[in-house]
Structure 1
Amino acid sequence: MPDTQLRKTILTVEEVFHENGPAPEAPLLRGAIVAVIKNPYAGAYVADIQPFMDDLKPLGLLMATKLATALGGADRIEGYGKGAIVGEAGEIEHGALWHAPGGYAMRELLGDARAIVPSTKKVGGVGARLDVPITHINASYVRGHFDAMEVGCNDAPRADEMAVVLVMTTGARIHNRAGGLDAADITGEDGLR
Structure 2
Amino acid sequence: MREPIVRKFVTVVDEIFHEGGPPSPTPLKRGAVLAVIENPFAGAYVEEIAPFMDALRPLGLKMAKRLVDALGGDPAVIEGYGKGAIVGTGGELEHAALWHNPGGYAMRELLGGAKAIVPSTKKVGGPGTRLDVPITHINASYVRSHFDAVEIGIADAPRANEIVLALTMSTGPRIHARVGGLKANEIKGEDGLR
TM-score range, shorter chain: over 0.9
Stretches of structure 1 lacking an aligned partner (at least 5 in a row): none
Contact 1:2 1:40 in 2 (8 A): no
Give the CA deviation at 1:189.
1.6
Q: Which residue of 2 aligns with 1:114?
A: 115
After TM superposition, list the pairs within 5 Å mapping 1:78-97 onto structure 2: 78-97=79-98
Stretches of structure 2 lacking an aligned partner (at least 5 in a row): none
Other structure's SS at 1:33 match: strand
Other structure's SS at 2:188 match: coil
What is the CA deviation profile of residues 97-150 of structure 1, one whole-angstrom value per residue up to 9, with x for unaligned ones?
A: 000000000000000000000000000011100000000000000000001110
Contact 2:21 2:176 in 1 (8 A): yes
Structure 1 residue 21 corresponds to structure 2 residue 51: no
Give the CA deviation at 1:187.
1.1
Which consecutive aligned stretches of 4+ in structure 1 deviate over 6 angstroms post-superposition?
A: none
Other structure's SS at 1:14 match: strand
Q: Give the RMSD, CA atoms, in angstroms.
A: 0.6
Distance across 1 between alignment mates of 2:43 and 2:109: 33
After TM superposition, list the pairs within 5 Å mapping 1:61-72 onto structure 2: 61-72=61-72
Q: Which residue of 2 aligns with 1:60?
A: 60
Distance across 2 between alignment mates of 1:52 and 1:64: 18
Between the two proteins, the alignment pairs up a number of residues equal to 193
After TM superposition, list the pairs within 5 Å mapping 1:22-171 onto structure 2: 22-72=22-72, 73-171=74-172
Q: Which residue of 2 aligns with 1:192?
A: 193
Contact 1:126 1:154 in 2 (8 A): yes
Give the CA deviation at 1:59.
0.4
Distance across 1 between alignment mates of 2:126 and 2:22: 40
Contact 2:115 2:189 in 1 (8 A): no
